[in-house]
Amino acid sequence: MPFRVVIVGGSVAGLALANMLEKFDIDYVVLEAYPDIAPQVGASIGLLPNGLRILDQLGCYEAYRAKAEDQVYQQAYLREASGKAYGYQHDLMEMWEKMLGYPMIFIDRQMLIQVLYSNLKRKERVLTSKRAVSVDIMESSARVTTKDGQVFSGDIVVGADGIHSTVRKEMWRNAPPGYFPHDEYSKVPATTLCIFGISHRPEAYPAASQHNTLSEGHSYFLMAAPGNRVYWFLFMELKETLYGENIPRYTKDDEARIVKQHANDRILENMTFGELYQKRIVTTLAPLQTYVFEKWHYKRLVTIGDSAHKVDPVTGQGGNGAIESGALLVNALLRNFDSSPDGLSEKQIEDVLAEVHAIRFERAQDVVQQGYWLQNAFTQRSTIGKLIARYFMPALGSFGVLYRGVEFCSPATSLDGLEIPRRPRAVPFEDELPARPVKNLSKINKLASIAVTTSLCALAAGLLRLPKSLELAIDDLSSTDAKSSSNLPAFAFLVNTASLLAMALVESNRVGNKITSWVQIVTFALVNNFLGPGAIGPLAALFAHWSCGLIVGRHVPVEAAKMVLPIVTVGYVLPATIAMLRMDSSSIIIWRNAPIICFMLARSLSALGNSPREADDEKSKLQIERERTRNMFAKADLPYIRLVHYSAFIISTAIHFTNVFNYGVRHSLSFGGNNEALGLHP
């Protein structure tokens, strides 16, 4: 008999898996508990590039994107409790698509299910009003019994039936004591209560926009929806964490009470929650349970999607994770079919299901943790959360969303054996590379790499003739025979230090180092003061080693890249020259703080060059941000960065060889071991 998969649940996870199985001609049946395959429950769903790429392989992407119409949000705002915006992210869809080939798109959950169902060629295999009540493991199969008494058998039973999964409960029932953690459902927490819904768009709501309105204890998340509507969420912190069966089912009376309490909350400056709620189409009140179950499979039974890992909707990764799990399951099955054309043994099936868990478990935990921190910030449950929401998130802007998105989406899986449609993107997915990057280095490995790098840099600094303090360097340069060739090594050192500072300015201005740039420059200044310029080389090497590694963080704003060489000249070379000539005793202090002076000059000139004439001119701000985005994807910064690198290389090389040549002429340079001529201790 052909291999057969019984899928319990006509959810996003279930129907996506059905599409994947159908693509490879694997027999399946879908058992949906409700009479309709796509009921409207008021839920929206967002898919990101990691999920959309798999839909593209299945032939569903264009239909999914068409459902969004023209209401895919472009502008996103962070707002305080008064509704006033204090953070802004621009052109997110365009930036997502240019980075990873796909945008971030929200539509009705019902619409996605309809797209997946419509794409199936064998719709007769999707059965409604088939609520699973029991699952039994037989000698060579697994059997599902539905409420109406029908029995469905298959080689594998997949639970795609949500957080209250029947398949998971039956797995626990079938397994021997100790295989699963005891009473694990009692550990499933809920810390947040949520009303989510869909409303007709109020006149005050801007089209194609998203808004996060944050307040202590609660927050709002709204986005434009197709059909001139709005998707929205009201997240509320529960007074105490609830667990498992102690989490209540809420009623419409509970919802009405909460709405009355929050009716006057301002979502926008000119719109309240009450006004949005009055235009509601459908709403649901539910606790948000977030948890990753320890084990997802037993013998021939497995859970995927919310049945295995329930994540906070604020992450936008619930549906994407479910689709990824389905792809991993199908990939593992196909590899085993190739090696066992006569069928899979129970041991092989268990290995397949264990592989899915091994690959997906850590990513699922990461999303749950991400949801925890986002809710902590959005509902301002702690001092750290408040600081992140008020300062860190607006400082990161569009880059913060993209950086985290690329970091999480690029390692995602795809379906083996199906062509990935070619879509232009700046960042490849990891499975499109010749080899996957090495990841998840242990803390010991990371510390070891730092120790090795530091030791090598320190060794180099010890061997090279580097001034131990600014005063010694100045003394060398300002001595009575300062103009003589004997002082070329000290002069060369000052020039090389300027080159390092130029490199540091480039690195500190990369958008990926936006938050840490102050730390880098202040550290340079402190090291320059207390350890001398000789320590700057090793420090620069360490910063370069741990600099931003993703393509999305590589860009240097053009206005900053243009100013690197002039700033180093004015902020470092000029003070160094003044100090060398001993024109003013205060010049040493200025030179000591040259890195911080250069950094402040860079920030000031960059701000002056890009500030709109009117501080509150939103159109001017948007034009500036869009120009920066165009520059980023056009790599407009590269000519200026190359100029910095070439200038540093040419000048440092010329000074070095002049120094070596001059020393060789005076001391009969021998390349057979004259370390002193090369600037090394004899």
Q: What is the pLDDT of residues 483-503, one digit of tens each?
A: 444 556 656 767 777 887 888
Contact (CB, 8 A) for 522 and 596: yes
- Considering only CA atoms, give the Rg of the chain: 31
Q: Work out the pLDDT band at 482, boundaries 50, 70, 90.
A: very low
Contact (CB, 8 A) for 652 and 496: yes
Query: H helices of 46-102, where?
Result: 49-58, 61-67, 92-100
pLDDT confidence of residue 583: 53
Domains, the chain, with CATH or none = 4-432 (3.50.50.60), 443-678 (no CATH)
Q: Which residues pair with 222 in a beta bridge?
A: 211, 232
**Cα gap 185→497, rounded to integer Å:** 60
**Cα gap 414→54, rounded to integer Å:** 6
What's the whole-number mean pLDDT along residues 411-438?
Answer: 88
Contact (CB, 8 A) for 567 and 505: yes
Q: Is the pLDDT assigned to residue 274 strictly greater than 60?
A: yes
**Cα gap 109→47, rounded to integer Å:** 10
**Which of 126-130, 550-554, 636-640 holds the top average pLDDT?**
126-130
Contact (CB, 8 A) for 184 and 174: no
**Which of 92-96, 206-210, 350-354 holds the top average pLDDT?**
350-354
Q: What's the pLDDT tens digit per position in 213-226? A: 999 999 999 999 99
**Cα gap 515→386, rounded to integer Å:** 17
Q: Work out the pLDDT band at 536, boundaries 50, 70, 90.
A: low
**Cα gap 72→157, rounded to integer Å:** 37
What's the whole-number mean pLDDT along residues 299-316?
Answer: 94
What's the whole-number mean pLDDT along residues 105-116?
Answer: 94
pLDDT confidence of residue 631: 80
Least confident of 6-20, 87-101, 119-133, 631-645: 87-101
Please give the share of the chain, as a percent, with pLDDT higher than 90: 51
State the DSSP code for 106.
Answer: E
**Which of 19-28, 83-92, 343-352, 459-468 holds the top average pLDDT?**
19-28
**Cα gap 231→208, rounded to integer Å:** 12
Smallest CA-to-CA distance from 414 within 385, 440, 436, 445 is with 436
Q: Which residues pair with 88 in a beta bridge?
A: 77
The tokens describing 547, both together, are: 């600099």
pLDDT confidence of residue 518: 65
List Cβ neighbours of 668 (8 Å cut-off, separation of 6 or more). none
Least confident of 293-297, 455-459, 648-652: 455-459
Q: Work out the pLDDT band at 675, boundaries 50, 70, 90.
A: very low
**Which of 105-109, 133-137, 605-609 holds the top average pLDDT?**
133-137
Q: What's the pLDDT tens digit per position in 432-447? A: 888 777 665 555 665 6
pLDDT confidence of residue 406: 85
Strands (E), 183-259: 189-200, 209-215, 218-225, 229-243
The tokens describing 498, both together, are: 């300027």
pLDDT confidence of residue 439: 64
Angle between helices 470-477 and 574-581 (to 10 degrees): 70
Q: Which residues pair with 302 in a beta bridge?
A: 158, 297
The tokens describing 84, both together, are: 């006033």
Sign of the CA dihedral with 617 first, then 622, 628, and 634 last: negative
Q: Is the pLDDT assigned to residue 421 strictly greater than 90?
A: yes
How many CA atoms does the CB half-sphere of 240 hold within 13 Å?
5
Quick one: which H or E segment has residue 560?
helix 558-568
Smallest CA-to-CA distance from 593 within 641, 530, 551 is with 530
Phi, psi of 226 (to 5 degrees): -60, 155
